[in-house]
């Protein structure tokens, strides 16, 4: 497999590195911190040794020179180690990379998250800026962009195995849920609600689990970086807004695998796959650039269900409103939401991103951009 250069830059102070399984966190760490002392908690012998005697971790750290680097891989498996990490940052100036595919156990244990002494960073599936000439939007919508999947000569088999591994290693072995069959039933139902406001009552009924359990299961998906909620934007316009959040899966390959769709992209799924992928991609870029946009949301009118803007990006200099259309042809009626939101204060850019190849601009200043062009020029919209 071609080695793609990740956007995430080397960090010089202690930090957490979070991201869903298979995004290449360990590979990235070996590239940038190859001389560090390595504690791999996925190695069962190391895990069992430190579980039985956590003090061994401190004894190993005590042998290092001041300022040395230490990588603790999958730190959520032993959250108690963070107490020693805190002490050695303070007393010996050691620097730590603390990787994790889940924040669930760290939050649940109420452990010391180092009081700001280790900043959070995130690694995402491959982005078009990293894949460069190998990026193909239709291939990405079909298979996703997880490094562990793209590295496999049979990506479809890798995706199927990934979902099973997620259930076994992330959910079952870490005891994140009591009812594993219920969680397994929930996943394909959640896949149906990609890029949509979730009807928790309907999902509860379909999965045969309680409504509060559905909400908790979404929290698990968030904590294991499988997806995220995009909140509703609430500006001061004269129309009432719909504020319920939309659920976005982190990778289109996961969505299709959970829905057992493995062939070419069908027209009925293209729209939500493209929308969630582009929003997740913009979110990744924003994270890698230290979040020039402090708010990401969508906007929808409560009165007119067909008036909506898929992505609102708000930063210090203003707001960029983005409409996302999985169409290769531009039609003027696609601009209804962007024209409605023009009345909002601080709107600086209005952009329609689509799968076509022509760059256009309307008389009232809306830019119509092919997806590749939008991503090449994304920094212009900050």
Helix (H) or strand (E) holding 343, with range, is none
CB 21 within 8 A of CB 101: yes
Q: Which of 73, 89, 90, 1 is closest to 39 using CA atoms? A: 73
Would you state the pLDDT for residue 143? 97
Q: Is residue 2 one of the residues assigned to a domain?
A: no
Q: Is residue 47 one of the residues assigned to a domain?
A: yes
**pLDDT average per 10 residues of sequence, the chain (382 residues):** 87 95 96 96 96 96 97 94 92 96 77 72 98 97 97 96 92 86 95 94 93 94 96 70 86 97 94 98 98 95 83 96 98 96 92 98 97 98 96
Q: Is residue 172 one of the residues assigned to a domain?
A: yes
Considering the domain architecture, whether residues 255 and 151 belong to the same structural domain is answered as yes
Give me the sign of the Cα torsion angle 27, 29, 32, 38.
Answer: negative
CB 190 within 8 A of CB 218: yes
Q: Provide the domain count of the chain.
A: 3
Give the CATH number of the domain where residue 372 resides.
Answer: 3.40.1350
- By residue range, what is the domain housing residue 41? 15-122
Considering the domain architecture, whether residues 180 and 220 belong to the same structural domain is answered as yes
Pairwise CA distance, residues 108 & 370, whole Å: 43
Would you state the pLDDT for residue 110? 53
Would you state the pLDDT for residue 175? 78
CB 368 within 8 A of CB 360: yes
Considering the domain architecture, whether residues 298 and 190 belong to the same structural domain is answered as no
Q: Is residue 8 one of the residues assigned to a domain?
A: no
Partners of 369 in the β-ladder: 353
How far, in Å, are 149, 175, 247 from residue 22 at the CA level?
Answer: 8, 20, 21
Domain-ending residue, one of 220, 255, 270: 270
Residues 47-59: tens digit of each pLDDT: 999 999 999 999 9
Give me the sign of the Cα torsion angle 270, 276, 278, 281.
Answer: negative
Considering the domain architecture, whether residues 318 and 193 belong to the same structural domain is answered as no
CB 303 within 8 A of CB 240: yes
């Amino acid at each position: 497999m071609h080695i793609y250069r990740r956007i995430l830059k080397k960090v010089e102070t202690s930090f957490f590195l979070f991201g869903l399984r298979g995004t290449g966190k360990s590979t990235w760490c070996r590239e940038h911190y190859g001389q560090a002392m390595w504690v791999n908690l996925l190695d069962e012998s190391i895990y069992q040794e430190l579980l039985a005697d956590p003090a061994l971790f401190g004894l190993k750290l005590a042998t290092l020179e001041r300022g040395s680097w230490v990588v603790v891989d999958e730190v959520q498996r032993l959250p108690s180690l963070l107490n020693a990490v805190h002490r050695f940052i303070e007393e010996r100036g050691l620097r730590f990379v603390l990787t994790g595919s889940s924040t669930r156990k760290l939050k649940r244990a109420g452990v010391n998250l180092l009081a700001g002494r280790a900043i959070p960073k995130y690694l995402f599936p491959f982005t078009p800026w990293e894949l460069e000439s190998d990026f193909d939007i239709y291939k990405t919508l079909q298979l996703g962009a997880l490094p562990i999947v793209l590295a496999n000569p049979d990506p479809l088999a890798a995706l199927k195995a990934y979902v099973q591994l997620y259930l076994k290693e992330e959910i079952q072995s870490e005891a994140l849920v009591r009812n594993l069959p219920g969680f397994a039933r929930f996943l394909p139902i959640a896949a149906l609600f990609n890029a949509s406001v979730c009807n928790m009552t309907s999902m509860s009924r379909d999965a045969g689990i309680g409504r509060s359990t559905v909400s908790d299961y979404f929290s698990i998906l968030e904590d294991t970086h499988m997806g995220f909620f995009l909140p509703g934007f609430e500006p001061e316009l004269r129309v009432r807004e719909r504020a319920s959040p939309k659920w976005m899966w982190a990778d289109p390959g996961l969505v299709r695998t959970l829905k057992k769709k493995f062939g070419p992209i069908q027209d009925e799924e293209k729209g939500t796959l493209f929308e969630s992928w582009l929003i997740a991609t913009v979110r990744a870029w924003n994270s890698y650039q230290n979040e020039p946009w402090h708010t990401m949301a969508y906007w929808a009118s409560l009165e007119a269900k067909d008036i909506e803007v898929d992505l609102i990006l708000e930063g210090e200099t203003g707001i960029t409103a983005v409409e996302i259309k999985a169409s290769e042809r531009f039609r003027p009626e696609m601009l209804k939401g962007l024209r409605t939101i023009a009345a909002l204060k601080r709107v600086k850019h209005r952009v329609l991103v689509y799968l076509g190849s022509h760059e256009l601009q309307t008389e009232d200043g809306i830019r119509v951009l092919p997806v590749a062009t939008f991503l090449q020029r994304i920094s212009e919209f900050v």
